[in-house]
Chains A and B, each alone.
Chain A
Amino acid sequence: MRNNAWLRIAIRAPLAACFVMAATATPGTPRPQDYATVKGDLGQAGGWLVVALRSEPKTLNPILSIDATSREVIGAMNADLVHINRGTQRTEPALAKSWSISPDGRKYTLQLRRGVKFSDGVPFTADDVVFSFQLYLDENLHSPQRDLLIVSDKPIAVKKIDAYTVEFELAKPYGPAERIFDGLAMMPKHLLEESYRHGKLSQMWGTNGRPEEMAGLGPFHLREYLPGQRMVLERNAHYWKTDSSGVRLPYLANLTFLLVPTEDAQVIKFQSGETQVLERASADNFNLLQKDAKSETECLSDLGPGLEFVFLLFNMNSLDAAKSADIVAKQTWFRELKFRQAVSLAMDRKGMARLVYNGRATPIWGNVSPGNKLWLNTSIPHPERSLEQAKVLLQAAGFSWDAGGGLLDAQKRRVTFTILVSSSNAQRSKLATIAQDDLKQLGMEVQVVPSEFRALVDRVLNTKDYEGVLMNLVNGDVDPTPEMNLWLSNGETHLWNLGEPKPATAWEAELDKLMEAQMTSPDYASRKKLYDRVQEIAAQNLPFIFLVSPNILVGAQNSIGNFRPGIIEPYALWNVDQLFVRKPGAEKCQ
């Protein structure tokens, strides 16, 4: 089960494809329709696609959704102004057909497509854009996207210029530029304005919402929802994209999400052909599918490392010495850099990748996985595993060993601690077992404590009642800006030391500066330089002991055309508007 949904660093929504811009209209001559034309194989209209969902979506309201499942479903029903293409990892026009940025980098002027309609047939205009941003920025609605729309403590200002032109003004230049618009679904003002005025917006479009009360700009709209069973979406006849021959997308007539709570059951359903796309498989099941005789009808792809990183984290929060005396005593170890370096040196990352992921994972020494080629700092050292060096470091930090080989600290206390791990994630439990054995070789007595996922998150984020924890984070984008709340000392996911009133160490202060600077730097080269330094600091100071980055493993039946998965979520369904069912006999893998 992938249950880290709401812990991801940034939250973004899916959908779009490789665009070729429609010929730009001459200013002043209104065109009846501004369709986006999409490259790809020409498919035929019709057909069903069935995809498994791992958990029930919590809401269908794009303003409120946090969990990955909700966002996946919402992504198929909504659209954003500018979209990050999951294949190329670059932005491309979506509901905005073009945009310009003022020379000072603070004003964005977006031209909307003309003639675009919501799935209920009502035209989409600048009023809907202004209304949508009003919702995202409303403090009372607590939209998770709100944080991303606040640059230098000032919310982004939205102004309607005319029915098809919107201007956005930022307090400072914004490094990621138009990437800011990705994942922000445009909402229908005509349907939601009244409930918003009555303060009832948060009750709209819940999972009990009626299909006729909803409308979106995505390729599909809701037809039927049976809680606990399935969700059936129907083709949006008003969708604003066409293929290169002018046929209106999406090709599929229906998209069904089936609720299948365990990964094993999903794999079995995929094997039997009951579902046509497998969104993410574990390495074990992926290998199993590959070995399976039937795998000729399944197109399986290993996309290499994704944007997820798994790490070991020590509790370095400032705690109440009376209440958590035990942990506070151990924090003298955790805060010792040499201790963390020794732990990092003892980790058998290659063994982890091989045993736990069947080699379908990459050892990492920093937060940026090799999958993120644009931002990876390739000069970060990859020290080989060495217990001898680790022991030298420990000795230098005042640690010693007793007759039985047990590690003692400077006060001659035995070094023992617990590592918390989510019991619902088999892979992470296994990583913890390996880490435990690795640390035993240094004389550390580690106990692995399996915990139910929500209880674990509660301990890490709220009660801070833990010693070590093995967990993961998934970046929602390749760009570093969504990591702001991870690296800023007052960030919400600054996990190792949450809620610092001011940076606790000099390197954390530097991280603050670097992250702020990269966010407001205009060009990639200078941002890359700043972010390289962030990675360097993280690798030197090890607030996280980075372990591995698992590969993204997906599959589809060979009857599905245009299947081109990417490493940014949603891996497989980002171009659902282009997916089609091949004619019998024409099956093949891309």
Chain B
Amino acid sequence: MNSRWRNTLFITALAALHLFVIFPGFFAPYDYAAQDRELPFVPPSRLHFVDSGGAFHVRPFVYAWREASDSSGAYAEDRTQVRRVRFFVRGSPYAVIGGWAGRFHLFGVDQPGRIFLFGTDYFGRDEFSRMLYGGRISLFAGWFGATVALLVGGLAGVLSGYCGKWIDAVVMRLVELFLALPWLYLLFAVRAALPLRIRTVDAFFLLVGVVGLVGWARPARLIRGIVLSAKERNFVLAARAMGASDLHILYKHVLPQTYDTLLTMAALLVPQFILAEVTLSFLGLGVAEPVPSWGSLLAELQKYSVLTSYWWMYLPATALVGVFLAYHWASSALQEKLRAGNA
């Protein structure tokens, strides 16, 4: 009961997360590229219920930020300007899947106020909106990249481990070649060969492609090892002695041994590939400004001045830790289920 409860919770959380990320326009209060050059590095808006006069408000509100008078670049709340939080407000237009344009946002505040749940970045752009939009690319590129890498890697590993002989030799040499290639320079070459302008959609598939291409070799090795040991196990030998076909043995006895590893690897690879996007963006192969990605949000944090001065820039990172943990739990829950099914 307990674990079932937990699993439902994770699955709901993950489903909600994907919903946010698939429809960022609605959940994000602002456009990801909208700059407010008067408000760079504003801390997150504080939600208030009690105003400066001591009166209680049922509808929460925020105060406008204004620059502190000591010219330190810090901000102070302007207590004279109350901006009430509203739901289902009309705001900047956004495209929804299928070309349909939306104008309504889940929440916002009275005009001309602005609400920044996660604060703002260098250009006064809303970090929360950027975080939601960023997931559109990062989450799915991470997912698809991991799927491609694991599918190709898994297939190569199984083939190599199960068939052995020359197939094993060829596949493993290929794996070594891929591990040894100087990727950085190859990516330079790829970038030079591509046109300068890359649309975001193309950048997405490019990401998936590159990440899958670079990432399949390690899983292939790992899976090969598991298959090698699995095919010598007594129950596999018994099945073979009873005349089971190779396909049957693979499907029924060998492959299930690899699921655990594959799931664990998936849970590890997704975050890793999301971060790989930072490197690719550096080479001009990722998504370019102003389109956000989780990688680029995290990359900002690598700067010493940002790291030490603006604590809210950590919020996307903290949120991402939660996301990745959810994946981890989901993958262990799945593993448990598989084990229960096998038993």
Contacts and interface: CB of A to CB of B under 8 A. Distances in A.
A450 B284 contact: yes
A302 interface: no
A302 to B, nearest CB: 14
Nearest to B299: A426
Contacts of A420: 196
Given A423-B284, A452-B283, A437 B196 contact: no
Contact of B35 (A288, A354, A437, A449): A437
A455 B196 contact: no
Nearest to A268: B304
B69 interface: no
Contacts of A437: 33, 35, 123, 290
Nearest to A466: B196
Interface string B276-309: 0000011110001110000000000001111011
Contacts of B73: 287, 358
A223 interface: no
Determine the main DSSP class of B at the interface with A: loop
Contacts of B37: 348, 351, 354-355, 434
Given A437-B33, A447-B197, A467-B196, A455 B305 contact: no
Interface string B292-328: 0000000000011110110000000000000000000
A455 B123 contact: no
B35 A423 contact: no
A433 interface: yes
Nearest to A358: B73
A267 B122 contact: no
Contacts of B283: 423, 450-452
Nearest to A350: B37
A429 B304 contact: no
B100 to A, nearest CB: 16
A449 B305 contact: no
Contact of B123 (A267, A423, A434, A465): A434
B289 A429 contact: yes
A430 interface: yes
A351 B195 CA distance: 31
A430 B308 CA distance: 19
Contacts of A351: 37
Which of B124, B198, B288, B303 has most A Cβ within 10 Å?
A: B288
A207 interface: no
Nearest to B71: A359
B303 A284 contact: yes
A467 B290 CA distance: 19
B91 interface: no
A264 B35 contact: no
A418 B124 CA distance: 23
A202 B41 CA distance: 51
A436 B123 CA distance: 12
A432 interface: yes
A449 B309 contact: no
Given A288-B309, A455-B188, A450 B304 contact: no
Interface in B68-84: 72-73
Contacts of A450: 281-284, 288-289
B289 A264 contact: no
A447 B288 contact: yes
Contact of A449 (B123, B192, B197): B197
Interface in A34-58: none
Between B73, B188, B196, B197, the greatest number of chain A beta carbons within 10 A of the residue's beta carbon is seen for: B196
A540 interface: no
Contacts of B306: 284
Contact of B305 (A287, A418, A434, A448): A287
A449 B303 contact: no
B256 interface: no
A433 B197 contact: no
Interface string B252-296: 000000000000000000000000000001111000111000000
A416 B196 CA distance: 12
Contacts of A416: 197
A523 to B, nearest CB: 45
B191 interface: yes
Contacts of A264: 303-305
B337 to A, nearest CB: 43
Contacts of B198: 447, 449
A433 B123 contact: yes
Nearest to B309: A288
Given A355-B40, A416-B197, A433-B123, 15 more contacts: A267-B304, A284-B306, A287-B305, A288-B305, A351-B37, A358-B73, A423-B282, A432-B289, A433-B289, A436-B289, A436-B290, A449-B197, A450-B281, A452-B191, A455-B192
Interface of A: 264, 267-268, 282, 284-285, 287-288, 291, 326, 348, 351, 354-356, 358, 416, 418, 420, 423-424, 426, 429-430, 432-434, 436-437, 447-452, 455, 465-467
Q: Which 3 A-B pairs have the closest CB atoms?
A: A284-B305, A264-B304, A418-B196
